[in-house]
Copies of this chain bind each other. A is one copy, B any other.
Amino acid sequence: MTQKHLLLIAHGSRRQASNDEVRQLAGRVGQLRGADIAAVEVAFLELAEPSIPEGLARCVAQGAQEIVVFPCFLAAGTHVVSDIPEAIEAFRAQHPEVRIRLTDHLGASAALPKAILEVATA
């Protein structure tokens, strides 16, 4: 079976506690993952590490043959439409042996409105 890793991309913050919170979210996603996903990693667009190329390289170093990239963004702004695809394209050119698949972003989740209401009315 192809070894598949999931890489979550978040914006990144000057506030380290915020970046740690995203790392913890990746940990929670990792605990819920099915047997088809070998590991869940996180990378940041800016202001925090690892960067997107570093995150992709980390997956490859761990043996990933396929990387599913998930943008943790509410809407398809410039980061989702341009910045993330460009970073992936640059990595692909250097690692043609790794399959990289960019998924929909968080805002596309059908479960999001309910999740928002649950927090908002808690």
- The interface of chain A, by Cβ under 8 A from chain B, is 6, 8, 10-11, 13-15, 17-19, 21-22, 25, 28-29, 31-34, 36-37, 68, 70, 72-78, 80-81, 103-122
Quote the shortest CB–CB distance from A59 to chain B (angstroms).
14
Q: Could you say which of B21, B81, B116 contacts A70, with CB atoms under 8 Å apart?
A: B116
Q: Which residues of B contact A17 (CB under 8 A)?
A: 76
Q: Which residues of B contact A115 (CB under 8 A)?
A: 106, 109, 111-112, 115
Quote the shortest CB–CB distance from A79 to chain B (angstroms).
8
A108 and B73 alpha carbons, distance in the complex (Å): 15
Q: Which residues of B contact A111 (CB under 8 A)?
A: 111, 114-115, 118
Determine if B21 and A107 form an interchain contact, defined as CB atoms under 8 angstroms apart: yes
A43 and B121 alpha carbons, distance in the complex (Å): 18
Quote the shortest CB–CB distance from A62 to chain B (angstroms).
17
